[in-house]
Structure 1
């Protein structure tokens, strides 16, 4: 598959800059960005997905997760 034209760029999302929960880990925080990224392991065919970045409540290192794992708090 060819690289998507919008690869590694920010994707609009209704919950951007709002409180969210990552249902996979239970982490709550602020949705900082959603990016289109290649999630395939090295040496495997490309696999493009929308990845959400959540900054935990109180700050700290942002967590990345599939955008489907994000819900409003």
Structure 2
């Protein structure tokens, strides 16, 4: 049986990012290729783990992660 996850190198690790899906910002802690399936068929997805201001981490698709722009409106 294969692993359920693997770490993926990602350049903005430990940098401030924004999740465009939720608008939440935080520090990018890891990018992990995870098997998100709860069935027997593998369904792999790259998830970004972001630590918010509260200290709790949340996940989102890597496609939703953009650099945070401090003090400026994002367009």
TM-score when normalising by structure 2: 0.78
Query: What runs of 5+ residues in structure 1 fail to find an aligned partner?
Result: none
Large movers: runs of 4+ above 2 Å: none
Partner of 1:35: 32
CA separation in 2, counterparts of 1:48 and 1:10?
12
CA RMSD, 1 decimal: 1.8
Q: CA deviation at 1:61?
A: 1.4
Instruction: Indicate the structure (1 or 2) with the bigger Cα radius of gyration.
Output: 2
Query: What runs of 5+ residues in structure 2 fail to find an aligned partner?
Result: 69-75
CA separation in 1, counterparts of 2:49 and 2:55?
12
| Structure 2 counterparts to residues 45-56 of structure 1, below 5 A | 45-56=41-52
